[in-house]
């Protein structure tokens, strides 16, 4: 029976692997163990309730499809969740478990966030104060509310939310957030810290950059106070260390941090790290530290797609009381692609022009501002050029994309053309619809969704879209 359930689950994994990214597969499916196959019911063991909730929220359809393909229409999936020191919990698919609220602090327990300055020296305060509460060193502007979620950061953001609800009590310890500059690593790490401070007033939270951490160690060595330094850090409940790549080559700093890390992790304290690269690619860091960085979850932040960039810019402009037309948002975000910091730079310039000299934030102003951030504006991709290339690929006349027809190949060609036009041009949905035979913006929205759905379920079609997009971009250099 064990072999049967393993065979069924292996077949399911082959289907799943084709439809998710390698990182998602490794994070959410490799840890799952099949434990029982009873008629048409497959029982799988997942590490914890958060794991189960994430699967049900993000992969329920994919799991259903794979199970039914292997066990038939009556196939069902049951989750087995082991509990530490308690009977295991079992959930059938699409059953939501009751949330576990954190238990209240006992009145007679010491307050973790308050220390006696005479016993433990705090490198963040001036000596001489008898009782101190650790300043978390957080920027209160960094919150989850203004950290816009998209495909580029969904895994990291949701892991961060789980940690904020139960610091030190999830499988994501440590959490390593990595990615290129300007993608929001520091924002996310500090958002977790701010959320913990808000929900757990007795938790000692501390944010520190790797550079500052190193300088503190240098001072501790000079003052013969390394033990006090280590003792202080070992009392922190949530430690956020930013830019760990700067520990490279600093052997003594790594040695001290190694002992701090071990003590915190052993005591169930939460560790959050950020880096400009994945742990496996860190150079000049001891192997024993690298292996510990891999204990929890490594989540990368990727460059945000067009829709996410637009949502970020729109949110920031709205928070400043400035409304921006959709066409202007699309134009700005089409030309600013590298990172969010550049986007914020554009926003500050627009706000200055809008508030100081009372200019409307329109397309003309957007073009003026953009020229200060890019050497030359990208050569414009037109809807017409997209139509021509897609029509050639599907071997249909371009004019047929404008006409009413139910022929499948023409419908797909038209929907794909709209999808690429929305993604690659700065045209509004209304303008795109008008170019396709006077259709309205709702038709464009429906077409884009239809294409995205096909890409999610058909890998060959997804490759076709990627190839067409590549050809369109390459045509700019011809």
User: Of the ranges 186-190, 218-222, 363-367, which one carries the lowest mean pLDDT score?
Assistant: 363-367
Contact at 8 Å (CB) between 163 and 155?
A: no
Judged against a pLDDT cut of 60, whether residue 438 lies above it is answered with yes
Assign domain 383-477 one CATH number from 2.30.30.830, 1.20.1540.10, 2.60.120.560, 1.10.1750.10: 1.10.1750.10
Contact at 8 Å (CB) between 247 and 283?
A: no
Which residue, 444, 399, 398, is CA-closest to 421? 444
DSSP 304: P
User: Of the ranges 255-269, 293-307, 318-332, 434-448, which one carries the lowest mean pLDDT score?
Assistant: 318-332
Assign domain 306-370 one CATH number from 3.40.630.30, 3.50.50.60, 1.10.357.10, 1.10.8.60: 1.10.8.60
Contact at 8 Å (CB) between 30 and 16?
A: no
Judged against a pLDDT cut of 60, whether residue 125 lies above it is answered with no
Question: What pLDDT is stored for residue 21 in this prediction?
Answer: 81
CA distances from 219 to 115, 253, 282, 322, 419 (A): 21, 12, 26, 47, 57
Assign domain 114-300 one CATH number from 3.40.50.2020, 2.40.50.140, 3.40.190.10, 3.40.50.300: 3.40.50.300
- Compute the C-alpha angle 126/128/133, nearest 5°: 65
Higher pLDDT, 101 or 412: 412
Contact at 8 Å (CB) between 451 and 465?
A: yes
State percent of the chain over pLDDT 90. Answer: 15
How do the domains of the chain map onto residue ranges?
A: 2-92, 114-300, 306-370, 383-477
Judged against a pLDDT cut of 50, whether residue 105 lies above it is answered with no
Which residue, 212, 200, 266, 204, is CA-closest to 239? 204
What mean pLDDT comes out for the span 78-92?
60
Give the CATH number of domain 2-92. 3.30.300.180
Rounded Cα gap, residues 265 and 428, in angstroms = 51
pLDDT range class, residue 473, cuts 50, 70, 90: low
pLDDT tens for 361-386 read 777 787 777 776 664 444 567 888 88
Question: What pLDDT is stored for residue 209 in this prediction?
Answer: 92
Sequence-separated (6 or more) residues with CB below 8 Å from residue 156: 175, 177, 188, 299, 300, 301
């Amino acid at each position: 029976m064990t072999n049967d359930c393993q065979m069924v689950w292996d077949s399911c994994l082959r289907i799943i692997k084709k439809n998710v990214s390698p990182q998602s597969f490794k994070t959410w499916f490799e840890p799952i163990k099949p434990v029982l196959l009873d008629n048409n019911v497959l029982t799988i063991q997942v590490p914890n309730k958060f794991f189960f909730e994430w699967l049900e929220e993000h992969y329920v359809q994919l799991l259903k499809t794979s199970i039914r393909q292997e066990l038939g229409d009556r196939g069902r999936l049951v989750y087995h969740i082991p509990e530490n020191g308690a009977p295991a919990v079992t959930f059938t698919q699409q059953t939501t478990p009751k949330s576990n609220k954190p238990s209240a602090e006992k009145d007679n327990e010491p307050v973790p966030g308050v220390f006696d300055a005479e016993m433990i020296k705090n490198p963040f305060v001036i000596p001489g104060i008898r009782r101190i509460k650790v300043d978390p060193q957080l920027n209160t502007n960094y919150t989850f509310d203004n950290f816009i979620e998209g495909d580029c950061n969904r895994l990291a953001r949701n892991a961060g939310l789980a940690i904020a609800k139960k610091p030190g009590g999830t499988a994501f310890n440590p959490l390593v957030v990595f990615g290129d500059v300007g993608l929001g690593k520091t924002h996310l790490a500090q958002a977790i810290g701010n959320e913990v401070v808000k929900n757990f007033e007795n938790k000692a939270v501390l944010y520190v950059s790797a550079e500052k951490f190193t300088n503190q160690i240098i001072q501790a060595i000079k003052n013969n106070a390394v033990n006090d330094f280590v003792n202080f850090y070992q009392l922190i409940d949530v430690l956020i260390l930013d830019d760990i790549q700067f520990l490279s080559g600093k052997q003594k700093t790594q040695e001290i941090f190694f002992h701090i890390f071990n003590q915190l992790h052993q005591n169930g304290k939460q560790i959050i790290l950020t880096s400009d690269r994945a742990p496996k690619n860190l150079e000049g860091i001891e192997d024993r530290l690298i292996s510990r960085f891999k204990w929890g979850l490594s989540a990368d932040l990727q460059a945000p797609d067009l829709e996410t960039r637009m949502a970020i810019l729109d949110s920031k402009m709205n928070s400043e009381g400035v409304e921006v037309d959709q066409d202007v948002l699309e134009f700005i975000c089409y030309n600013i692609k590298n990172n969010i910091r550049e986007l914020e730079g554009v926003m500050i310039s627009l706000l200055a022009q809008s508030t100081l000299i009372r200019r409307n934030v329109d397309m003309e102003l957007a073009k003026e501002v953009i020229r200060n951030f890019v050497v030359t504006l990208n050569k414009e991709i037109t809807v017409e050029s997209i139509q021509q290339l897609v029509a050639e690929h599907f071997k249909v006349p371009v004019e047929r994309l404008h006409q009413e027809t139910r022929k499948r190949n023409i419908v797909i060609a038209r929907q794909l053309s709209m999808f690429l036009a929305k993604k690659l041009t700065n045209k509004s949905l209304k303008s795109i619809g008008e170019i396709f035979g006077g259709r309205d913006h709702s038709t464009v929205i429906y077409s884009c969704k239809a294409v995205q759905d096909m890409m999610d379920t058909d890998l060959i079609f997804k490759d076709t879209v990627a190839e067409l997009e590549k050809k369109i971009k390459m045509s700019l250099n011809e």
